[in-house]
Amino acid sequence: MHPGFGSPCENRERSRVINGQTSIEELQALSPKQQKEVSMLNARLAAAESMTHDVIGDLLAMQPARGSEVEEAQKQTKESIAGARNYEFEEANDTSDLLEERQRKTASQGMVMRNLARG
């Protein structure tokens, strides 16, 4: 054998070791990058969760406000309906009063006509 040269098995073994060491070094170099990426993603996730929490809080805060708006609208609707009923009732009473007055006038005109016819 020549000095510095090993058997083909030893050469393959050395090549595997060197490739393994290179892979380890590459992975170690990637590890901080990936950790930094994971940290950035965690920060983004935390920010998104915070915004989601804020939005949910705003929606829940708006819900009672909307409830009071709905209650106010219902109250106004009920008042409008009551006002319309009162108006209709008053109109019906006015119509009834007019009919009664007309009947009285007709009756009194009939009495006047009878008295004139007698006299």
Report the pLDDT value the prediction gives residue 4, as an integer from 0 to 100.
55
Which residues are within 8 A (CB) of 14 and not within 5 positions of it... i.e. 6 or more apart? 6
d(CA 69, CA 83): 21
End-to-end CA distance of the chain: 168
Q: List, for the chain, all residue ranges whose pLDDT scores fall below the cut of 70.
A: 1-6, 64-67, 119
Look at the pTM and tell me if it is higher than 0.85: no
What percentage of the chain's residues is helix, strand, coil (to nearest 5)? 95, 0, 5
Report the pLDDT value the prediction gives residue 97, as an integer from 0 to 100.
83
CB 14 within 8 A of CB 6: yes
Report the pLDDT value the prediction gives residue 1, as an integer from 0 to 100.
46
Report the pLDDT value the prediction gives residue 44, as an integer from 0 to 100.
92
